[in-house]
Amino acid sequence: MSMWQFLEAVLMMTNALAILNEDRFLVPHGWGFSEMSNGRVSSLKSQIIGLLHAVQYLRVPLVALNTITVVLKLIFG
């Protein structure tokens, strides 16, 4: 496995996290942002919820990274 394949895998996982809809998926399963307000910010669940919400802000840079990845794949095969 090359470094390029590893970076592609990380990009795909980030894409998967970025498209999760809070109202439709996260809140019904107890993973909404309101779950973090209970004061236990150091718990693993709270850290994962924070990560999910941080990835939501990466949507615009992800479009650029995905475009670059597709162009590089088309050029270099």
Question: Considering the chain, what is the average pLDDT of its residues?
Answer: 86
Q: Say how many CA atoms lie within 13 Å of 57 toward its Cβ.
A: 4
Q: CB–CB of 62/15 below 8 Å?
A: yes
Q: How large a percentage of the chain has pLDDT more than 70?
A: 91
Q: What's the predicted TM-score (pTM) here?
A: 0.77
72 vs 29, higher pLDDT:
72
- Residue 10: the pLDDT is 95
Average pLDDT over residues 19-29: 84
Question: Is the pLDDT reported for residue 64 higher than 90?
Answer: yes
Total number of residues shown for the chain: 77
How many distinct structural domains can be found in the chain? 1
Question: Is the pLDDT reported for residue 12 higher than 90?
Answer: yes
The domain in which residue 49 lies consists of: 3-76
